[in-house]
Structure 1
C-alpha cells in the first residue's frame, strides 16, 4: 500500500473571529455516533441504507440538469450509518510527507484511513465477462424466440419522492421508453406522504402499468399497507403472476437500502414498520414460486455477498450497488427500449446497458459522486462461492486464534468500506480477502471475479470489485442481528463463526481500552479513561467480567452494547486466558500519548509496536471564548518527522468558508490514479434547516471547494437511510454550527457560531490562521476502535 498524500493547505492569513451567537438546538453536531445510513443511500437524495439513529446523507454535488429537479446529487456512503445515503467514502486531508520508513507503508495507510488505488488484484471495471463456470447450474431464463417479459418495479417512494420527486423522475424515464406489446412494465406505488405528480395517489398504494407513454392504473391496494412488509411484496408479485404471465420475469426494488444488516426499504407512511431484511426478502420471493431473469435494487448498498447468496435460488442475476446511490438512481429509458426491441436480449448485454447508463448519468449529473453498480451471475456464485468463503473464514479464524487479531483488524480497516460513517460495516470482499491473504489466486477472490460479470464505478472508487460483505468493526451491537439473519438465509456457518470470534476479541479490547467518545475529559483535565494506569490484574478482571456475562449494564453501554446484544461472545474459539493475554499484550496505552518538546515543536513519540496499535488520527481544535470551548471539529491533517514522531500543528490553521472558520469533520480519503480525493462536511443551518455543507479536495481542486449541501434526515426507530441534495444558491442564508463545552467538559449544546453568512458568489474554501485563543488536541483510534484524546496544546 502506498503512502497517502494530502491536499494542499491553502492558508490565507488570519480569518474572522469565532464566537457563539445563539443556541441552535439541533442536537450534537459532528458526532459520528448519530449518523447512520445511506439511497439511494438510505438518505436524502437517493436510495440508501436504514438506520436507528439520525441519518445523514452526504452529497458531493454538481448541478443536475433535465427533469431531475435541479438538485445536486452525490451521496457519500462514508457519511451514513444504518440509514440511507448516496455516494461514497471520501474526505479531507492527510499529510505524511516525512513518515519514517520504520513505520512501514501498511501502518501509514492504516493510520491515515486512506483507501489506496487498486492494489494486488487487477481492476475489473468495464470488462464484460461472458464466460460461465462449468459447475454453474442452468439459467432459469432460456430464450424462446417469442419471449414475453414482465418487469415488476416495487417503488416505495418515501421522502425521495415526497421531498425530491425522484420516483416521479424515474416514472417519467419509464414512460419515455418505447415499449413493445411483449413487455409489461408493472409498478407498485406507495410509501410516500406525497407524490410530485397528479396521477399517483398518496392515500392508497396502487398498481400501474406503463403503456404507450402513460401510467395506467390497474388496481388499488387495501389502503396503505407497509411496503416493507413481505406480504405486501408477495401480493404484488402474485398480481403480476396472475395477470401478466411471462417466460421472462424481472423484479426491481426501488427505495432506500441498508445493506446486509438492515435490508431494503423505509415506508414514510409506516415509519415504525422497520425495513425488510434479507430473510424477509428471501421468504417473500420464495413464496411466489417465480424464477427471475434478474433481481435488481435501485437502492443503496445491496450488492452484498449475503444478498446474492440469499437470492441465488430464485434469480439468474443480481444488479445492485456496493455503495450508496445518488438520488438519480438507475436510468430507465434506454434499457427498457432495448428490451422491447429484442425481448431475447442476453441479460449480460441488458445488464451492461443498465450499469453503463447508471454510471454515465451519475457522472454527468452528480460530478464527484462515489458510485458503483455491478451485474452478478448468481448461478455461478452459488456454485463457486461457498467453498472459498468457508476456507477464507477458517483461515481468518485461525489468525485470530493464533493471536494475530491485529493482522485481521489491519486488513479490515484498510479495506474499501461502504457508507463508511454509517457504521453498517460493509467492505469489499475481494479487497478484504486480498489484504489479509495477499494472494490474487485465492478461491474467494476468483469466485467473485468470475461471478461479477460486469462492474463499473466512478473514478474515485478503487478496490470496489462488485460484491461487499459484512465484517463487524464500527458497531458490534449489530453482530447478533447479523448472525440471526445468516441463520435464516443459510449463510456459511464458518463465516458466521469468524465474525463472532473477531467481535469477541474487539469487545474485549474495548472493555480493556476504555477510550472516550469526545474530548470532554481532556478539556477538563479529569480524563476518565484510567485504563492506561490500571494494573494487568484489573484489566484482566474487566475482560473476564465481559466474557463471563457478569459485566454491568453501564460498562456494556460504554462500548455500545447491552445484555441483549452479546450472544456472539458465547461462540468464541479462543480461551478466556488467551483473549486476556492477547489484549493485554496488544493495546495502545493511552498514557503514552503525551507531548514531548512542548516548548519547541511538540511531538508524540511511540515505538513501532505502539504505532501498530493506531488505526486513525484526527486533529481537533477548540476555541476558548472565556466561558468554555467551541469545538471546531475533526480534521485528519497530521505530520511525522524523520524519526517517525507525530508533530503538532504549529500553524494553527483551520478550514474556513470565505474567511469564516467553520466546524469541519473529515469523512474519508480515496486515492486513485490521479491522486487523492478528500471529502468532509460542515454542519449548518441552510435557510433555517439543518444541513451539511460538503467540502471536496481532489486532483482538479487540490485546495478544496464547496460542492453543495445535504439536509439531515431524521428517521424514526427504523434502520433506514435518508437522501437529499441541494446546490448552494445566491441569497442562501447559512448559519455555521458547532458543539460547545463548558470548562468542566460538559457538552452544553450546539450553537450558531460567527455571523450569518449570505451567499453572494461561489463560496471559497481555504485555510485561515485562527487568531482566537485556541487549544489543539488529537484523537487517536486503536485497532479495537477505541478513541483517545491527547492533552491539549494551548495557543501561545
Structure 2
C-alpha cells in the first residue's frame, strides 16, 4: 500500500483567564476530536491511519495551591511545544508511515485498539430470518388460535430500583399495556431495600398480577429468600404453573447480569448470596417441567453461546443482550399489547417487537450508550452449533499446538469485547472466528448467523452478531470456574480443552514475562525495563515447570492473578512442558528494549519487526506530580510512528477534561465505520456517594465528545454482575473525580479525590481536551501477546 495521507496537528481557540470554580478550571470552549484523534489511536498497521488532533488552549490566572490539578494547565508555550509549534500556532504536517506487511490486519487492529465496523462478515442487524434449519427440532409452542399465555417476570429490583427506580418504571410500562383476559402477566418482586412506589413492599417477596392498568397482589412468598437462590425461582414458576396454566409460557429474568461466568442476579437484601450461575439457572428451569416459548434476560451480558446451549432443551427462543443494557431496559408496553391482541402471534414477530422497542427506546432515552439485543432460535442452535463449535475448538487448539499461539491471541484481543472494563472475557463469537480464520463461510460463523433470527444494536456498535462466548484473556483466575460450569451445562468438551490449553500457554508467558500491572516502577525515575529479557532457557524451563506442577510459590502465582485454588486448568493440555518452554523462549517481548532514543529532541522507541509482532496493544499514560506523589490520569490509545516505523512520544501533553477539569480517562474502544470513528471511554468518579464510571463518547455528531451517562462500579465483595447503565446525568447530580495515586517510591497509596464535589447544573457538563503545561510525565503501556504489561521510562515535561 502507498503511504497514507497525513494531516497536520492544528491548535485552535484562544486562551482566557478564568477563576476556577472550587477545584475546577475555567477555559475556552472544547477542541475538536476527529478521525484517529486522541483516543482513536495510531498503530503499526498496513492500513491508512489518519490522525487529527485539535486541542483546547487555556490559561490559568489562579488556582488552589493544594490541588495540582487546578494549576497545571496553561497555554501553548515554547517550552512545552518547542519542536512542533510555529508562530501561527499550527504544527507541521506529520506523516504516518506504511508499516511492515508482516503485521496482518487482525494484529494491527489489536495493537491500535481501532476496530473496523462489520469487517469480514456482513452486518446482520435488522434482518428477520424466518427460515428453519432442516435439522432443528419442532418448536415446543404451536399456535392453536385460542391461546392462553402466562408471562412470568422475575424482577429482582436490587439497587437498580432502590437508587434509580428502574424496576418501577418498567412496572409502569406494564400497567400501560392493554392486557387481555387470555394473558396472565405475573411479576415476582423482591431483592431491593426500597421500592420507589407505594404498592410493592420491600419487607417481603411478593407476586403480583398486572391487569386493567393495576397491580393486584396475589401472594406473599413467606420464605422471603434471596432471589439469586434457584429455589426461589422454582417456587415462582411452580406458582404460576399451578394457578395460571396456559399453552404458552414466557419467562423474563430482570436484574443485573454477569454473563457466562457469573450468571444472573444481585439481591441487594442478601448481598452475600452471590449470583445464580448458568448451571443453577438450567437446573431451576428444568425442575419446573415447563417448556417455554422464550426465556428472556432483561439484564446485562446474557446473550452468550453458553446461556443459549444451557437453555436449549427448555425454550424455543432466547432474547438477551451481548452488551450491558442501559438502565431503561426493555420497553414493555407495546409488545405486551401486541401479544394481548393476538395471543398466537409468532415468536419471531413478537421477539422482533421486543428487540426493536428496546433499541429504539434506548436510542431515545439513553443517547449514545452501546446497546444490543438479539432473538436466538434455540432449537436450531442445539442442532447446528455444537458440532461446528467443536470443529472450531479443534482447529484453534491445533494453532496453539503448532506454534501459532500469537495468531489466536491477536484474534482474541481484536474481537468485539463486552463490558471491557470489567474484564469478564466475553467476545462476539462470529467476530472471534472470523478474526482467526478470515473466512465468512466458516461453519461456526454460519451456524451462529443461522440461529440468530433477529439482531439489532445501537449505531455505535459493530461486530456484534448476536451471541458472545467466554474466551479467557484478562482474568485467568476464572478459567477453572468456567470449566466447572461447562461440565454442569453440558458444554462442548473440545472447546473446554481448548481454552484450558490457551490459558496454560498464556499463564506460562506471564510467569516468564514478569510484567507490571501499574506504572508504579516508572515513576521512581530509575526504571530500566523488565529483566525478563535476561532469562535463560534454563530459567524459563524452571519457571514453567514450577507453574505447571503447582509448586510455584503463592507470591509468584499472585503476581499473575492466580492462587492454588485456580490453577486446575494447567493440568489439562495437549502440549508438553518442553513445547511450551520452547514457544515462550522464542516468542517473547524483551521489555528491556522499551527505551527512548533521542530522548532530549524527538523521543522514540525502536523495536525490530519481530519484536513489534509480540506487541498486542499500546496505550499512553500521563502522571501528574502533586507535590508528594503522582496522580495517575489513566490510559488513552494515542500514539504515532515516524517514517522509520519508530513510535514517537507525545509532545503535545493534552488530556481529557470535563468542564475544564482534567480527569482520569480510560479508553475502552474505537470503531471506524466508513468516514465516522466512534470512541468510547470511561472516567472513574464518586457519583452521588457511590463509585461509578462516567461514559464519554466521541462520534461524528459529537466530535468534541459528550457525557453519555454512567454505570455503577461494584466492588467484587458486592457482586460480580455488571450494572445496567444509568440512563443520564441530570441536574443536581454530585460528582467527585477520583484518580489512582502513587508515592515517589512507586508505591500505590490510595485513590486521590478532589476536595470539592462537582454539582451538575442546568447545562450538561462539557467534554474537551486541555493542554497540560508542567509537572507531568508520560509513559506508554505496552501489552504483549500473553497480556503482560510493560511501561516505558517516564518522560518529564520540559
Written as runs of structure 1 = structure 2, the 5 A alignment for 1:435-446 is 435-446=435-446
- 2:72 matched residue in structure 1: none
* Cα deviation 1:250-297 (Å, max 9, x = unaligned): 111111111111111111111111111110011111111111111111
- 2:523 matched residue in structure 1: 523
What is the distance in 1 between the residues matched to 2:194 and 2:731?
28
CA contact (8 A) 1:21 1:755 kept: no
- 2:54 matched residue in structure 1: 10
Written as runs of structure 1 = structure 2, the 5 A alignment for 1:718-729 is 718-723=719-724, 725=726, 727-729=728-730
Written as runs of structure 1 = structure 2, the 5 A alignment for 1:162-241 is 162-241=162-241
- 1:784 matched residue in structure 2: 786
CA contact (8 A) 1:18 1:623 kept: no
SS of residue in 1 equivalent to 2:164:
coil
* Cα deviation 1:464-490 (Å, max 9, x = unaligned): 111111111111001000000000111
- 1:36 matched residue in structure 2: none
1:183 positional shift: 0.7
The answer to whether residue 157 in structure 2 is matched with residue 157 in structure 1 is yes
CA contact (8 A) 1:5 1:676 kept: no
CA contact (8 A) 1:594 1:790 kept: yes
- Sort the Cα spacing of 1:527 and 1:228 in 2 relative to 1 into closer, same or farther, 3 A: farther
1:98 positional shift: 3.5
What is the distance in 2 between the residues matched to 1:732 and 1:292?
42
Q: 1:765 aligns with which of 764, 767, 776?
A: 767
What is the distance in 2 between the residues matched to 1:206 and 1:15?
59
- Sort the Cα spacing of 1:503 and 1:490 in 2 relative to 1 into closer, same or farther, 3 A: same
- 1:127 matched residue in structure 2: 127
What is the distance in 1 between the residues matched to 2:727 and 2:342?
39
1:686 positional shift: 4.5
1:607 positional shift: 1.6
What is the distance in 1 between the residues matched to 2:50 and 2:300?
29
* 676-685 or 596-605: bigger deviation: 676-685
- 2:650 matched residue in structure 1: 649
Unaligned runs of 5+ in 1: 25-94
Q: Which TM-score applies when normalising by structure 2?
A: 0.87
1:99 positional shift: 5.2
SS of residue in 2 equivalent to 1:560:
coil
SS of residue in 2 equivalent to 1:256:
coil
SS of residue in 2 equivalent to 1:189:
strand
- 1:100 matched residue in structure 2: 99
- 1:704 matched residue in structure 2: 705
1:655 positional shift: 2.0
The answer to whether residue 637 in structure 2 is matched with residue 636 in structure 1 is yes
* 659-668 or 96-105: bigger deviation: 96-105
What is the distance in 2 between the residues matched to 1:496 and 1:422?
22
Task: Give the number of the structure whose alpha-carbon radius of gyration is greater.
Answer: 2
* 419-428 or 1-10: bigger deviation: 1-10
The structure showing larger relative contact order (alpha-carbon pairs under 8 Å, at least 6 residues apart) is: 1
What is the distance in 1 between the residues matched to 2:688 and 2:285?
44
* Cα deviation 1:660-682 (Å, max 9, x = unaligned): 33222222212224522112223
* 732-741 or 414-423: bigger deviation: 732-741
Written as runs of structure 1 = structure 2, the 5 A alignment for 1:243-642 is 243-524=243-524, 525-526=526-527, 529-642=530-643
CA contact (8 A) 1:14 1:770 kept: no
CA contact (8 A) 2:366 2:708 kept: no
- 1:73 matched residue in structure 2: none
What is the distance in 1 between the residues matched to 2:414 and 2:436?
10
What is the distance in 2 between the residues matched to 1:515 and 1:276?
35
1:517 positional shift: 0.8
* 564-573 or 535-544: bigger deviation: 535-544
1:706 positional shift: 3.0
CA contact (8 A) 2:153 2:187 kept: yes
CA contact (8 A) 1:20 1:753 kept: no
1:422 positional shift: 0.9
Unaligned runs of 5+ in 2: 1-44, 70-93
- Sort the Cα spacing of 1:5 and 1:681 in 2 relative to 1 into closer, same or farther, 3 A: farther
SS of residue in 1 equivalent to 2:645:
coil
1:3 positional shift: 4.5
* 329-338 or 665-674: bigger deviation: 665-674
CA contact (8 A) 1:187 1:208 kept: yes
- 1:112 matched residue in structure 2: 112
CA contact (8 A) 1:670 1:678 kept: yes
SS of residue in 1 equivalent to 2:137:
coil
1:710 positional shift: 4.1
- Sort the Cα spacing of 1:276 and 1:503 in 2 relative to 1 into closer, same or farther, 3 A: same
What is the distance in 1 between the residues matched to 2:271 and 2:759?
36
What is the distance in 1 between the residues matched to 2:440 and 2:658?
45
* Cα deviation 1:372-423 (Å, max 9, x = unaligned): 1111111111111111011111111111111100011111111111111111
- Sort the Cα spacing of 1:709 and 1:250 in 2 relative to 1 into closer, same or farther, 3 A: closer
SS of residue in 2 equivalent to 1:427:
strand
- Sort the Cα spacing of 1:96 and 1:196 in 2 relative to 1 into closer, same or farther, 3 A: farther
1:756 positional shift: 5.9
1:111 positional shift: 0.5
Q: Which TM-score applies when normalising by structure 1?
A: 0.88
1:138 positional shift: 0.6
What is the distance in 2 between the residues matched to 1:754 and 1:673?
43
CA contact (8 A) 1:415 1:432 kept: yes
CA contact (8 A) 2:147 2:343 kept: yes
What is the distance in 1 between the residues matched to 2:277 and 2:537?
42
1:218 positional shift: 0.6
CA contact (8 A) 2:738 2:751 kept: yes
- Sort the Cα spacing of 1:687 and 1:439 in 2 relative to 1 into closer, same or farther, 3 A: closer
1:368 positional shift: 0.9
SS of residue in 1 equivalent to 2:496:
helix
SS of residue in 2 equivalent to 1:565:
coil
The answer to whether residue 738 in structure 2 is matched with residue 737 in structure 1 is yes
CA contact (8 A) 1:255 1:265 kept: yes
CA contact (8 A) 1:462 1:671 kept: no
CA contact (8 A) 2:256 2:722 kept: yes
CA contact (8 A) 1:736 1:754 kept: no
1:133 positional shift: 0.6
- 1:795 matched residue in structure 2: 797
What is the distance in 2 between the residues matched to 1:10 and 1:254?
44
1:624 positional shift: 2.3
1:730 positional shift: 5.4
* Cα deviation 1:725-774 (Å, max 9, x = unaligned): 26445566544332222211112222234876555544332222212222
- Sort the Cα spacing of 1:691 and 1:21 in 2 relative to 1 into closer, same or farther, 3 A: farther
What is the distance in 2 between the residues matched to 1:18 and 1:430?
52
What is the distance in 1 between the residues matched to 2:665 and 2:629?
19
SS of residue in 1 equivalent to 2:726:
coil
What is the distance in 2 between the residues matched to 1:284 and 1:327?
27
User: What is the aligned length?
Assistant: 726
SS of residue in 2 equivalent to 1:722:
coil
* Cα deviation 1:563-613 (Å, max 9, x = unaligned): 010100101111100001001111111011111111221111112221111
CA contact (8 A) 2:129 2:454 kept: yes
CA contact (8 A) 2:529 2:790 kept: no
1:308 positional shift: 0.5
1:704 positional shift: 2.0
1:533 positional shift: 2.3
* 551-560 or 614-623: bigger deviation: 614-623
What is the distance in 2 between the residues matched to 1:127 and 1:3?
31
SS of residue in 2 equivalent to 1:186:
strand
